[in-house]
Amino acid sequence: MSRTIIVGDLHGCRQELGDLLSYVGFSPGDRLVSVGDVVVRGPDPHGTVALLRRKGARGVRGNHEERLLSHHHAGRKDLHPSIGGATKRTARELRPRDWAWLEALPLWLDLPEHDARVVHAGLVPGIPIEKQDPRALLTMRSIGERGEPTEDRGAPSWAHRYEGPMHVIFGHYAKSEPEIARFATGIDTGVVYGGRLTAMVLRAGEKVPPVEDRRSVLVSVPARRAWVAR
């Protein structure tokens, strides 16, 4: 039976992606989906994208892909002095087929058979997905006092204020454990920082389980090492 494997932020950790695919017994009939931030910071950006391509993976664009593509389109490094060294190193290592795969990533991806939606960072409750601010989809972590999206790490996550109906699976906000809310699940568990790589594994047609059973569809593998300091 085919499955959908939705994997958290990879940040160029190709070995850990291989570990996770081996752990879940990924087969040709399975579908692999990324929540974004596939590259930058970790050791092997080209190898990570190449493995995703070989597996026929789909995914959404993360804030690191957005910044990387902006830098790539500019064509001249001096146009973007704020671009960090990790982004520049990644840009040097990627091949044309990698760039094409990254360029094709949408801001969100719906998985109708699972009644689920994948975004990188979050969304503002009550606003149709087509009208969401792209920056919010790429970078938000919480909701401000006036209902605005913010990147604040200290405030309560937007996920606990979101009331569906589609279940949202997201990354971006690295934590030691998956974030489990009624209608949302965060699966960035900081593999590039030496944490774990987490995925949600759903059988064909399976809906995301309720909070009390959510961990039954979550799996993870440990990082090989801490690739960057948190």
Which amino acid appears at position 155 of this protein? A
**pLDDT classification of 230: cutoffs 50, 70, 90:** confident
Please name each of the domains of the chain with its CATH number. 3-222 (3.60.21.10)
Per residue in 114-149, pLDDT (tens digit) is 999 999 999 999 999 999 999 999 999 999 888 899
Q: What is the distance between the alpha carbons of residues 219 and 178, in angstroms, rounded to a whole number?
A: 10
Q: Contacts for 155-161 with beta carbons within 8 Å, 24 or more apart?
A: 157/122, 157/181, 157/186, 158/122, 158/123, 158/124, 158/125, 158/184, 159/122, 159/183, 159/184, 159/185, 159/186, 160/184, 161/125
Q: What percent of the chain has pLDDT over 70?
A: 96
What pLDDT does residue 85 have? 84
What pLDDT does residue 82 have? 59
Whose structure tokens read 């360029």? 103
Q: Which residue has the higher pLDDT, 168 or 1?
A: 168
Whether the per-residue pLDDT at 157 is higher than 60: the answer is yes
Q: What is the distance between the alpha carbons of residues 84 and 171, in angstroms, rounded to a whole number?
A: 21
- Average pLDDT on 21-29 reads 96
Number of H helices and E strands in the chain, helices first, is 6, 12
For the chain, the maximum distance between any two Cα atoms, rounded to a whole number of angstroms, is 51
Whether the per-residue pLDDT at 16 is higher than 90: the answer is yes
What pLDDT does residue 190 have? 98
For residue 96, the number of C-alpha atoms closer than 13 Å in the C-beta half-sphere is: 0
Q: What is the distance between the alpha carbons of residues 53 and 69, in angstroms, rounded to a whole number?
A: 18
Q: How far is CA 192 from the centre of its chain?
A: 13
Whose structure tokens read 């991806």? 109
Q: In terms of pTM, does the model score above 0.75?
A: yes
Q: What percent of the chain has pLDDT over 90?
A: 85
**pLDDT classification of 1: cutoffs 50, 70, 90:** low
Whether the per-residue pLDDT at 227 is higher than 50: the answer is yes
DSSP state letters, 24-90 = HT--TT-EEEE-S--SSSSS-HHHHHHHHHHTT-EE---HHHHHHHHHHHH--GGG-TT--HHHHHH
- Average pLDDT on 151-160 reads 88
What pLDDT does residue 75 have? 65
What pLDDT does residue 74 have? 77
Per residue in 46-96, pLDDT (tens digit) is 999 999 999 999 999 999 999 999 888 876 544 455 577 888 899 999 999
- Average pLDDT on 144-159 reads 88
| Pairing mode, strands 3-7 and 196-203 | antiparallel
What pLDDT does residue 79 have? 45
Per residue in 63-76, pLDDT (tens digit) is 999 999 988 887 65
